[in-house]
Structure formats: structure tokens, C-alpha cells
Structure 1
């Protein structure tokens, strides 16, 4: 009978809060990876992959492991930069329109619903990425998963909504929310 390696045995902060500390650190890494603004989706995909690898292969969450995944996601192609950035630009334009006086419920509610659903689909797509996969395959997998697992997509939409509300209410928490969203996407993809 072989001795089984204890998870997190070699980590500096091993113990009860290891997963919690890793996700906070991952949130900071995803936020830093998103600072280029156009790299927000690449950063999210790298974070989701690292969160999944942490749980399935006990990979340590570190700057080095995250940077390797971030670079691999960036090399996947321009679709992971251009398309998500265009979507983000649309959301920014919508926010300016609401701020300019189009804050009627018949305008704000559909925009909010569209943003939350788009965020859930983006999370599914980012979580579907792994080194060697194209963005097109990730989008196809995300759309198929959204269709086949409506409850899971609703959970991701709820995570996006709650994450957005938290950032609006307590802006400093915005440093770790991206990592938590990456974890949510990775956890949902791992189940299927």
C-alpha cells in the first residue's frame, strides 16, 4: 500500500485556510494579469485553468505557475483578446449611456441582464480553456454547456451579479473577485 501524499503538504501556509489563501492570491494574480485591460479574458482563462489544476493535480498557486498559463492563453490567438475587449467596450458604452440619463428601468434592466448573461458565458468559455485548445473550441464548449446545464449557467450568472454588486459596494474587494469568478467557472466545468 503506497503512502498517499497529503494535499498542500509542501506549501508555506499549509493548513485549514490553504484553499482560501490560494484563491485570494489567485484573485490578485488575475487582477494583475488584467491590468492591460485587453488581457482581462486571457487572465481569467489562466486563472480558471490554474484553479482547476490546483484541485486536480495539487499545483501550487504562484506567480510562476500563473504567468506560464497566462502566456499560454495569450498565445492561443487574437480571439481571446479582441472579442472580449469589444464586449467590455460595449459594457462601458452602456454604463456611460446610463450615466448620461438613460437610467430608466426599461433600459437598465435589460442591459444588466445582458451583461450578467454575457459574463456567465465568458466565465464558461474561460473555464473551458486549457493549453493547446483554441478559443473557437472553447466558445463551442461554453455554448454547449450553457445549453445543456442551464442551472450551472444560472449559478455563474448569479456569481457574476454578486461579484459586480460586491465591487460596486466595496471597491477594494475588486482585487480578489476575478479569482473567485475564475474558481466558480473552473468548479462548474470540473463537474462535467
Structure 2
């Protein structure tokens, strides 16, 4: 009597991760869309939106991804990409200066790495937020709150990024596939974070004296 499409306990998207092949095709499309660099935030955000749609049984295909991406490349998305690219270049320049042997360089390098890591974490979590489809400032504000409140989820995001970087380093062709699993990880973390936030008021209301 059990429905084969029913999600098992702990699963976010579908039974036994049946969207794996579609996730890889979306990852390839995302990698191609990221090549101009300034389109990277919109490309990753669109991948997260398409993968999130799997929970509502919407198709997870490269065709749907590209159709949604074409509607996404507005001036706001390109500005977000330009800001992200400028931040990455500034971070690289700061680390290069720190490695040049300037006074206080080790302490500066640690501080720059910490700030850059936090900024990258917030940016990645913003890409998974539904608000990123049409309002990047709102997505960034929500992602900053999620990063501070959901420390475990932030750790999972860092682990996903490290795993993606390791896979790309070990086998360069995998770099064209890692955006799919990375987007899936970001979306899963955001979905679980949203679910936990919804449960918080219920738990407080059910506490003694509530």
C-alpha cells in the first residue's frame, strides 16, 4: 500500500535520490553558464531553484534550467556577479600582498581568510535562498541570519565546498560536474534550515507555561 514516490524519513527531495542524473545535467548546464564569471551567482541560484522544484514534483532538467536562466539574467543579477567577482579579485590581491613578506603579513592573511570565508559562505547560502530569484539584497540578509543561526548547516556548506574543490583538483573534468552536487547540497541545507525555523515557534508554544 506504500506509494513508491513517498519520501522516506530524512529524505529531502525524492525516494533514493532518483534525480541524480538530472542533477548532473543541471550541473553541466550551470558550469557552462558560469563561464562568463559575472553570471555565476545567477547560474548557481537558478540551479538551486530548479533542484528545489523537485520537492513539488516539477521537472529537474537542463532544459527547464536554461529556460529559467534566460529570464534571470537581468541587470541586478549581473551586478551581483560583478560584485562577487570584484570581491574574489580583491581577496586574491590581499592574499598576494600578505605573501609578499609585508610586516604583519601572517596575521593579516589569517584575518583576510576569515573574512573572505565568511563572505563566501553567506554568498553561497544566499544563492540557495528563494529570494535570490528576484531580490539579492533580501537573499543576502536572510543568508546572513541563517549563517549565524544554523551553524551546523554552515559547516555542511563548507564541507560541500571542500569536497567539490577536492574532486575538481583530483580530476579536472569533474569541475564541470561539481556545480550540480554543490547546488543540491546548498538547497538541502536551506530546506532543512527553513523547516527547523518553522518548528521553533511550535516547540516554544508547547513548552511548560507557554
* Superposition TM-score tier, normalisation by shorter sequence: 0.7 to 0.9
Q: Equivalent residue of 2:19, what SS? A: helix
Q: Equivalent residue of 1:117, what SS? A: helix
> Hey, what does 1:32 align to over in structure 2?
32
Structure 1 position 108, deviation (Å): 6.2
Matches within 5 A, 1:21-170: 21-54=21-54, 56-75=55-74, 77=76, 78-93=78-93, 112-130=113-131, 133-170=134-171
C-alpha change, 1:106 and 1:131, in structure 2 (3 Å) is closer
> Hey, what does 1:190 align to over in structure 2?
191
> Hey, what does 2:11 align to over in structure 1?
none
1:104-136 per-position Cα deviation (integer Å, ceiling 9, x unaligned): 976766555544433322211000145763111
Q: Equivalent residue of 2:37, what SS? A: coil
Structure 1 position 149, deviation (Å): 0.8
> Hey, what does 1:12 align to over in structure 2?
none
Unmatched 5+ stretches in structure 1:
8-14
Structure 1 position 162, deviation (Å): 2.2
C-alpha change, 1:108 and 1:167, in structure 2 (3 Å) is farther
Instruction: Tell me which of the two structures has the higher relative contact order, counting C-alpha pairs closer than 8 angstroms and 6 or more residues apart.
Output: 1
Q: Equivalent residue of 1:90, what SS? A: helix
User: RMSD across aligned C-alpha pairs, in angstroms?
Assistant: 3.2
TM-score, normalisation: structure 2:
0.71
Do the aligned partners of 2:132 and 2:139 also contact (CA within 8 Å) in 1?
A: no
Matches of 1:189 and 1:59 in 2, distance apart?
18
Aligned length: 182
> Hey, what does 1:11 align to over in structure 2?
none
Matches of 1:95 and 1:170 in 2, distance apart?
26
Structure 1 position 81, deviation (Å): 2.0
Unmatched 5+ stretches in structure 2:
7-14, 195-210
Structure 1 position 91, deviation (Å): 4.4
